Amino acid sequence: MSIVIGQMEVASGDPARNKNAMLQMIGRAKEMQADLLVFPEACLSGLFLGENFCRRGFFEDCQAFCREVAQTAQGLAVVFGVVEAAEGKWRNSVYLAADGQLQRLQAPMGDSFAPGYYQDFLPAAEGKIYTLSIDGKDCRIGFLTGDWRGKTLPYAANDLDLLIHMALEPLLLDNRALQPAVEGRPFLRVNGAGLLPRGKHNYLYSGGSYYMDAEKRITHRAQFLQSDILDCRGAASAPLEAIPEDAALAQALTWGVRLFCRHIGVGQAVIGISGGIDSALAACVYSRALGPENVLLVSMPSQYNSELTQEYAYRMSQGLQTDYVCLPIQKQVDYIRDLFREKQGISAAGEPLSFHLDGFAMENVQARERTRLLAAISAARKAIFSNNGNKAELSVGYCTFYGDLAGAFAAAADLWKFQVYQAARYMQTLYPQAPLAEIAALRPSAELSPNQDVTKGMGDPLRYAYHDHLLRGWVEKGLEPGDVLAAYRQGRLAVLLGCDAAATEGLFPTDEAFIEDLQYWWRCYNGSGVAKRMQAPPMLALTRRPLGGAAPETQGAAYLSRQFLEEKRQLLGGDAL
């Protein structure tokens, strides 16, 4: 079948760049003597356009570039997408360019891939069959955009010879199933590559376009995440092996960082390296994305950082072959502590006003001192510094305002801790000299106090084997404390959360302790966690429910339903409420 897929890197809001990429692929398709070249939806304009939605000149340029594509497509049929202004909203248009002419096609639009993906667009028209000459024969073709998993397709087998699905699909780790095809008919899946920024959330177009024959065999497939041109003619290409989830995680993180840094025009990065697994993974990701020669690892130990984790931090730089510097912060921390001990203020009543930084406040001081150093050294190197936090920490605000909450980009902010370990295991195969496996064997710890001594098996208050799945249930599955408490009382907690039954063994000595922990993290999730998520840096979104993605964050009370209160009463008795 003389059809070529143009899996191009789509730059949101840069139609000139997209047009040039399309013209190059049109030239290559002509050299291949193809009959039809298909690009993804919105490939000319990008899908989310930010302020460009309000700019008349932007849409005028898009229309001019559409005509330029049509003029270039002489002797070749080209199908592509563009966003147009229409009726006070926007239309997700699909065009056929042939012999210098443009024809708008009717391509039904399915569901949104991610929250709000199509909310500003007009509904698509009903589907229509178009006849094009392919290999010298008339071929009846239908077109689709959007997500059609779980939906009835608007075309029947008797209506068409080929279905072309040209939706820009982001990489979503919680939904990697193939799109549905019409039974007994060939199927062309056309995707794009590149980064889709939408507010704080940056999605990756997953690539992986493919041709599936009438027997549902994928005979030709394009590269994962990358720009590629795919010729669907001739014998089946050697099938690309399915990418294991750990490799997909690592590649997504790498491409997300690489494209984000390219978008903001930065090629250098500074990583605060602690000797823990989160910063170790960040060091690997940025080294692969930018090259180790463009990455600096900065160790900033205080009196609470063990010699073991300091050694791991240094060995990470050796294993990755990056620059490294150690900047101890204890003198600065002591200075701030002593300053507050020595200085006094004056109260409104004229009385002496003294200050005291307790242990928790001093933990925050350490986090902020580290960020101050990272910001300074980043400025000196004309670099960015990374945010190394994960989804569990960010969901409940287990991070410090203006401290480890800061950073230019949060690559792992949509990964739970178990996924961080998963990606790190894959990175270990790429960097065998880096001590990732040794770091992973330690209990995670911020090492900010004597109560977080990793050499004694102490660490973070989040016990990730359990809390990862609890918080994931709240964020991604819509569970509430009442659901969790009911499952706990009925002995089916592990089944509900999808965690190992051993994860809670010995973790909660009493029912009261379990409920106290449940209520504490629910309050954090709905309280301080909201404020911190609002101030979090841009993140790489890899699921349908990145934090803050489903709806605007609202600061409010951590409401406990009547279901929860009744479950609590049954478990602890009537006087426990």
Domain ranges of the chain: 3-232, 248-323+365-453, 463-577
Report CA torsion sign: 8, 9, 15, 21.
Answer: negative
pLDDT for the residue numbered 209: 95
Residues of the chain above pLDDT 90, percent: 73
CATH fold match for the domains 3-232 and 248-323+365-453: no
| Fold of the domain spanning 3-232 | Nitrilase/N-carbamoyl-D-aminoacid amidohydrolase (3.60.110)
Q: Which two tokens stand for residue 95?
A: 């065009």
Average pLDDT of the segment spanning 534-549: 91
Average pLDDT of the segment spanning 207-230: 92
pLDDT for the residue numbered 356: 84
pLDDT for the residue numbered 504: 85
Q: Is pLDDT above 90 for 202? A: yes
Task: Choose the weakest-confidence range: 44-53, 139-148, 188-197, 225-234.
Answer: 44-53
pLDDT for the residue numbered 422: 96
Q: Is pLDDT above 70 for 53? A: no
Q: Which two tokens stand for residue 405?
A: 């909450």
Side-chain half-sphere of 254: how many Cα atoms within 13 Å? 22
> Which CATH architecture is the domain 248-323+365-453 placed in?
3-Layer(aba) Sandwich (3.40)
* Per-residue pLDDT tens over the stretch 433-489: 999 999 999 999 999 999 999 999 999 999 999 999 999 999 999 999 999 999 999
* Per-residue pLDDT tens over the stretch 398-440: 999 999 999 999 999 999 999 999 999 999 999 999 999 999 9
Select the more confidently predicted residue: 528 or 284. Answer: 284
State the DSSP H helix or E strand holding residue 197, giving kind and residue range, or none if neither: strand 195-198
Q: Which two tokens stand for residue 498?
A: 């999808």
Average pLDDT of the segment spanning 185-202: 93
Q: Is pLDDT above 80 for 119? A: no
Q: Is pLDDT above 90 for 21? A: yes
Q: Is pLDDT above 70 for 152? A: yes
pLDDT for the residue numbered 300: 98
The overall average pLDDT reported for the chain is 91
pLDDT for the residue numbered 352: 86
User: Is the separation of the CB atoms in 446 and 452 below 8 Å?
Assistant: yes
What distance in Å separates the CA atoms of residue 462 and residue 399, rounded to the nearest whole number?
A: 12
Going by their DSSP bridges, the two strands 344-346 and 162-165 should be labelled as unpaired
Q: Looking at residue 498, what DSSP letter applies?
A: T
User: Is the separation of the CB atoms in 160 and 139 below 8 Å?
Assistant: no
Q: Is pLDDT above 70 for 498? A: yes
Q: Is pLDDT above 80 for 52? A: no
What distance in Å separates the CA atoms of residue 208 and residue 480, rounded to the nearest whole number?
A: 36
Residues of the chain above pLDDT 70, percent: 96
Report CA torsion sign: 399, 402, 403, 407.
Answer: positive
pLDDT for the residue numbered 238: 56
Highest-confidence segment of 149-153, 319-323, 456-460 = 319-323
Q: Look at residue 96 and give its three-state secondary structure.
A: strand
Average pLDDT of the segment spanning 257-286: 97
pLDDT for the residue numbered 343: 79
Q: Looking at residue 244, what DSSP letter applies?
A: P
